[in-house]
Structure 1
């Protein structure tokens, strides 16, 4: 049974890294992770399979070391109906960023917890 947000599964964790290529080599070798195809992002990124449709996303940090907001560290939960999830957040008065499309057409929205950690909700 789905909850009020229609969460289906954990989807991915994203880590902001200083050097995408160096980090990708580490995760590929140290953890024997398989690199997977990515959409056409306009910033450095590599994705790896964690099995069972779960992924690790390595995202390049801005050169000045500043946080890249939603492109930084976050985790993502797959929902079956992003509009239902949005209505639930609205009903609770929880702030979130508007629904947008990733370059591969996946619908996503972001919210933050009380400590400012980003949470992505995505509809596959």
Structure 2
């Protein structure tokens, strides 16, 4: 049905109480480019990775009652990257997985690494500053 409609993925949004911090993280770690954002009654930052993928960071509504991310939840185990691979996450792939992994370690980002049973696909799981789950896989797999 989606193919018949010509539907394609447009963007993913993340709400945050500090969108500048979150934007800096995604720009530094993934090289996303800040692009012009429309004007709203709240702060927004739009980041683009390619013509087909954008990340919209939206200022958190102070009236919301939902937790901001795993680190604001009451269960500490939710912030454990070893449990992330079955959970909610956004995935990127990179050409030089080992170099990317070294960069995460140099920045002190806690990670969980694994290799798929095929022995080829390397994966690393970690969190952004708001506790949103991230996965990065090796592109050559």
Q: Normalised by the shorter chain, which TM-score bucket? A: 0.3 to 0.5
Q: Which has the higher contact order (CA 8 A, sep 6+)?
A: 1
- Structure having the higher strand fraction is 1
Larger radius of gyration: 2
